[in-house]
Amino acid sequence: MAVAAAHAGAVGHHDHIHPEPEGFVAKYIFSLDAKVIGVQYMIAGLLFFIISGLLAEVVRIQLLTPGGAILKNDAYNGVYSLHASGMVWMVVIPMMTGGFGNYVMPLMIGARDVAFPWLNLTAFWMFPVAGVILFSSFLIGAPDAGWTEYPPISVQGPPGTTMWCIAIFLIGISSTLTGINFMVTIFKMRAPGMTFTRMPLFVWAQLATAMLNMIATTALAGALLALFLERVFDVPFYDPARGGSPLLWQHMFWFYSHPAVYIMILPAFGIISEVFPTFARKPIFGYKMIAFSSIAIALLGFMVWAHHMFTSGMAPWLQLPFMILTMVIAVPTGIKIFSWLATLWGGKIDFQPAMLFALGFLVVFTFGGITGIFLSAVPVDLHEHGTYFVVAHIHYVLFGGSIFGAFAGVYYWWPKMTGRMLDRKLGVWHFWTTFLSFNVTFLPMHWLGLLGMPRRVAQYRPEFQFWNDVCSIASFVLAASTLILFYNLATSLIRGKRAPANPWHARTLEWTVSSPPPYYNFKTIPAVLKNPYNFGEPLPYIGLTLAEEEEDRLPKPGPAVPAHS
């Protein structure tokens, strides 16, 4: 076969196995291996997740009472601003791209690493540095104007706002470099025979995300640089008294930050698109449309930024095209949701924790997407903008979407990354406590907003107390439920069952190597014959070398193959 012949003769650059790095530092600290870098992203991301999550709990404690005064207002404003900034830039984006992307994507395309390992290393180390700078701003007066930091208030803001500019600028450079790296990797380093239509959907998602990362982030860099210059050198970009415009910031900021929300959700879509077929034991439904809609969402995502600015004072006629384009994005998103649903039909569904989180994702993300439609209609947004309705929408799509997707990814790929199984029962408990407490925490925020509670407030009117208390108490349960996950992760590392190469009998390439994979990923780069979703057929790869100590991992008929608990 031509492909096999081409494969057999290939002595390409990325076919070559370099010698194993020596020494603890080269292996685990300054490693060039995308898998190690991916794990480093996850560890740093987890740390910032804990910090940002605790900040959220401080917010909820303050909001237990209308006159909430456990913190001075300025400190409170810093708390929620860093909660949001931390979650967006130091948790979700790095973990979804640098974390899952680095670890899984090269394996999935049959590559040994990413295109530019040194760039990968450099981009990673900017991340914890940026995070430390961000959270250290508490020491000199945390930024207090939300994660959006609108001037003029942000120009006058506490000293920490300058640190915020620097931190986000740095993580922005990191993101841009990772975006470039992933784009070149996916375009140039796919295994022989892996055409774009044979690529797993997680890789499609990372490709769309990398495009966004690469193009949108430098617009944010521009906005941040201008804010920095105005704060530090009094250079007037946003100051109306000298001809500047507060709206200029909003345009520049949202031109990045709307694509940013797609950067946060597209990888989750990709994870869900892998988890559903694996645990329904059938192909993902509508592969081509899901792949196409990822690109469509990425492109449309560049054209809708001013739907965050309907009340801002921009020319009223501008509201119309942004409103309509935002509504249009509902169509490719809906296509994905229906495709996932149809993947369940006719399946043999196994309710592993990864699948539970994927199903939970489907419920809450659909809900969050629908409230997004509400916000897209200008007349309704005039009422809902800047209220807790928006806070509710944000958390349904970011927590319910990205974080649930990330949880699904953790349960799915933990065995591959660590060589240990997680406890299934604990995973189920984690899911149900998270799912239920999540909904009780964020659902009431919808009507709190509709009835008149604005966002970013340290105090609120007494009539809102009952529902705020419901949200707060549920949020404590939500925080506690994360402990179940941490306990599961810890005990798995210490005494978890050894994981086989393919505990889920999945079909993408990462499952054909040992758990964890060798540093070179594949002994020989396989050739790819078909897309990976045809369960019941032999794996569509040739030239795979099975690791010596692993038994045959291909699906077998007959007696039970003990693979998962």
Partner 1 sequence: MAVSALNTSHEAVAARYQNVDGAYAEQRDMRLMGFVLFLISDVVLFSAFIFAYLYLRNSVPNWPPINKDGVQLPRFDVAFAAINSCVLFGSGATMHFAMENWKHLNKAAFNMWMLATIVLGMTFLGGQAYEYHSVQVTWSGSTMGATFFTLTGMHGFHVLVGVIYLIVLYIQANRGVYTGSKYFGLTAGTLYWHFVDVIWVALFYLFYLM
Partner 2 sequence: MAQLTAPEQKGLGPGFWPVTTALTVANAVISYFIVVLPIEKYLPEAAAPAGDIDWLFKFMSVIGNAIFVYVVGYMLYFCWVWRRRPSDAPDAIGIQVHDSPSLELWWTIIPSILVLLLAIFSVRIWINLQNSLGDVLTMEAIGQQFKYEFRYPRLKQPVFNDMHIPVGTPVTLHVTSSDVIHSFWVPEVRLKYDMVPGLVQTLRFTPEVIGKYRIICTEFCGTNHGNMVANLYIDSQQDFGRWIAGQFKAQGQTGGPLNLSAGQAAAGQQLFGEKCSTCHSVGPFTQKIVGPGLGHLTDDPAYPNLVTGKPVNAEDIAWILVNGYQGPDNSQGKAGPSIGIMPNRQANALSNKDIANLAAYLLSLK
Q: Which of 65, 73, 491, 524 binds partner 2 (CB under 8 A)?
A: 73
Sign of the Cα torsion 278, 283, 285, 289 reads positive
Question: What's the min distance (Å) between Cβ of 324 and partner 2?
Answer: 5
Closest CA to 17 of 111, 86, 88, 98: 111
* Interacting residues with partner 1 between 15 and 34 (CB under 8 A): 16, 18-19, 21-22, 26, 32
- φ, ψ for residue 9, nearest 5 deg: -90, -10
Contact call for residue 446 and partner 2 (CB under 8 A): no
Q: Name the residue with tokens 């860099």.
A: 221
- φ, ψ for residue 20, nearest 5 deg: -65, 135
Which are the contacts of 351, defined by CB distance < 8 A and separation ≥ 6?
279, 428
* 18 interface partner picked from partner 2, partner 1, none, CB below 5 to 8 A per type: partner 1
Residue placing its CB nearer to partner 2 in the complex, 15 or 239: 239
Distance CA(330)–CA(72), nearest Å, equals: 41
> Which helix (H) or strand (E) element contains residue 96?
none
Q: Which stretch binds partner 1 (CB under 8 A): 13-21, 438-446, 478-486, 510-518?
A: 13-21
Q: Which stretch binds partner 2 (CB under 8 A): 11-19, 51-59, 259-267, 447-455?
A: 447-455
Contact call for residue 518 and partner 1 (CB under 8 A): no
Contact call for residue 461 and partner 2 (CB under 8 A): yes
* 547 interface partner picked from partner 1, partner 2, none, CB below 5 to 8 A per type: none
Distance CA(56)–CA(79), nearest Å, equals: 8
Angle formed at CA 511 by CA 103 and CA 44, multiple of 5 degrees: 20
Q: Are 399 and 442 in contact (CB under 8 A)?
A: yes
Q: Which of 48, 80, 169, 255 binds partner 1 (CB under 8 A)?
A: 255
Contact call for residue 313 and partner 2 (CB under 8 A): yes
Q: Which of 9, 316, 498, 548 binds partner 2 (CB under 8 A)?
A: 316
Distance CA(168)–CA(442), nearest Å, equals: 27
State how far the alpha carbon of 9 is from the alpha carbons of 115, 137, 458, 525, in Å. Answer: 21, 56, 67, 11
Q: Are 333 and 278 in contact (CB under 8 A)?
A: no
* Interacting residues with partner 2 between 135 and 194 (CB under 8 A): 144-146, 150, 152-153, 156
Distance CA(270)–CA(538), nearest Å, equals: 24
Contact call for residue 425 and partner 2 (CB under 8 A): no
Residue placing its CB nearer to partner 1 in the complex, 117 or 452: 117
Contact call for residue 317 and partner 1 (CB under 8 A): no
Distance from chain centroid for Cα 436: 21
Closest CA to 373 of 413, 328, 340, 417: 328
Q: Which of 24, 67, 118, 316 binds partner 1 (CB under 8 A)?
A: 118
Site string for partner 1, 177-216 (x = CB under 8 A): --xxx-xx--xxx------------------------xxx
Contact call for residue 262 and partner 1 (CB under 8 A): no
Contact call for residue 323 and partner 2 (CB under 8 A): yes
Q: Name the residue with tokens 């400190």.
A: 75
Residue placing its CB nearer to partner 1 in the complex, 111 or 261: 111
* Interacting residues with partner 2 between 79 and 98 (CB under 8 A): none
Question: What's the min distance (Å) between Cβ of 561 and partner 2?
Answer: 6
Amino acid at 351: F
Residue placing its CB nearer to partner 1 in the complex, 213 or 294: 213
Amino acid at 490: A
Q: Are strands 541-542 and 527-528 parallel, antiparallel or unpaired?
A: antiparallel
* Interacting residues with partner 2 between 252 and 291 (CB under 8 A): 280-283, 285-289
Distance CA(307)–CA(375), nearest Å, equals: 8
Question: What's the min distance (Å) between Cβ of 322 and partner 1?
Answer: 16
* 184 interface partner picked from partner 2, partner 1, none, CB below 5 to 8 A per type: partner 1
Question: Residue numbers of the site for partner 1 (CB under 8 A)?
Answer: 11-14, 16, 18-19, 21-22, 26, 32, 115-116, 118-119, 176, 179-181, 183-184, 187-189, 214-219, 221-223, 225-226, 229, 233-237, 242-245, 248, 251-252, 255
